[in-house]
Amino acid sequence: MSAPWLAERAAATRAAGLHRSPVARDTGDDLIDLASNDYLGLSRHPGVLAAAHAALDAYGAGATGSRLVTGTTRAHIDFEDDLADFLGFEAALVFSSGYLANVGAVTALVGRGDLIVSDRGTHASLIDGCRLSRARVVIVERGDVAAVSRALAEREEARALVVTDTVYSIDGAAAPVAGYYAAARAHDAVLLADEAHALGVRGPGGRGIVAESGLAGAPGLVVTTVASKSLGAQGGIVLGGTLLRDHLIDHARTFIFDTGLTPVAVGAAHAALRLLRSDPSLPDRLRRGARRLAASCGAPPPHAAVVSLAVGDPVVAVRAAACARRRGVLVGCFRPPSVPEGTSRLRLTVRADLDDATLDHVAAVVDESLREAGAPSPEAAR
């Protein structure tokens, strides 16, 4: 396709410092990874790899079809049952990605003539689910429980859904989940809480902020999460009651019409879940490491695994990330539209398997890289 507007848009994107290019990882790379979401460091754990190999041998490379045709294996059912039990819910349903789990859940729960109240900090997958649902959407500022209550109280629609991340992906701050849930229940609405960045990080034994808030299995609550972060694999999951699971199977288009998650990923994720069950100290080590790195970088104490360093200018942020990479440290670089204009940043994600010496080295590299790139200090950036 050679439309002139594509070239014009590409030039404008580059000029704004917003061009993106995937950078391939190589098995020979010797980088310290603080860009991935492998929070517990389990993606290459021998037990996780062994389970993935066993699933490959048992079921082959792919799911071979949608979950409703040939894409459901005993491995899928066993993982769903175990994760539901771990998180305190009646049932779980596995999707092929967290993105599709959120889109599928939102669009299956509300539609035209309904209301969605969305926290402004929600992930793009929830935003797109809201758009595709055709429901009326009211957006409230992050953490504004009173605004959620007002929107629900003033509505004319019979059905309403409140959506939020429990841990915001950009800066790792925690949402007021208990407050949102209370507001939803008071106004006969349902809360959908995305625990993608909380599973394995927060709560008792890594069970997330919903469990930490005493809400595991509560009525009027839908939880989504992923196997692609703390569980080191791939896939998205929706948790709730058995009626919810049945409803999603019948009505969630991203479940019905998508090829099922590969059994290899299911096997790996299930093995990682067993490791988390057997070693509840993993989330504690992760959060302790995040606090240490944040203190060394001059950042506020983190609520989860993410240490976010605001830079402002996207060009400077890209330059700083490149400087860190040259020094052997891989960091995340977030620019619009992932973050609002003027808030481009480096995003460091700590892993449970990083020792103190490595974290101190990372802090020194990040400081050098920010100064070389001409970025303000973290204190000034805040």
**Buried (b) or exposed (e) across 132-143, using 16+ Cβ within 10 A?**
ebebbbbebeeb
Query: What is the average per-residue pLDDT within 217-239?
Result: 98
What is the number of alpha carbons within 13 Å of residue 54 lying toward its C-beta?
Answer: 13
Residues 189-222: tens digit of each pLDDT: 999 999 999 999 999 999 999 999 999 999 999 9
Q: So what's the pLDDT on residue 28?
A: 66
Q: So what's the pLDDT on residue 113?
A: 98
How does the average pLDDT of the chain come out, rounded?
94
Residues 60-86: tens digit of each pLDDT: 999 999 999 999 999 999 999 999 999
Say if 41 falls within a structural domain: no
What single string gives the DSSP state of each residue in 42-102?
Answer: -TT-HHHHHHHHHHHHHH-SS--SBTTTT---HHHHHHHHHHHHHHT-SEEEEESSHHHHH
CATH number of the domain that 255 lies in? 3.40.640.10
140 and 232 belong to one structural domain: yes
Q: With CA atoms as reference, report the closest residue to 318 among 328, 338, 333, 306.
A: 333
187 and 97 belong to one structural domain: yes
Distance CA 296, CA 9 (A): 40
pLDDT at 1 over 80: no
pTM over cut 0.85: yes
How many helices and strands (H and E) does the chain possess?
Answer: 15, 11
Distance CA 249, CA 247 (A): 5
Domain count for the chain: 2
pLDDT at 40 over 70: yes
Say if 147 falls within a structural domain: yes
Distance CA 360, CA 296 (A): 7
pLDDT confidence of 2, banded at 50, 70, 90?
low
Distance CA 179, CA 161 (A): 14
- Which residues are within 8 A (CB) of 337 and not within 5 positions of it... i.e. 6 or more apart? none
Task: List the domain range (segments joined by +) for residue 132.
Answer: 46-278
Domain finish residue from 225, 254, 278? 278
Q: So what's the pLDDT on residue 149?
A: 98
Q: So what's the pLDDT on residue 16?
A: 83
248 and 290 belong to one structural domain: no
267 and 309 belong to one structural domain: no
318 and 333 belong to one structural domain: yes
Residues 271-316: tens digit of each pLDDT: 999 999 999 999 999 999 999 999 999 999 999 999 999 999 899 9
- Per the CB < 8 A criterion, the answer to whether 239 and 91 are in contact is yes
pLDDT confidence of 379, banded at 50, 70, 90?
very low
Q: At what angle do helices 46-59 and 74-87 cross, to 10 degrees?
A: 140
Q: What is the 8-class DSSP label of residue 106?
A: H
Say if 190 falls within a structural domain: yes
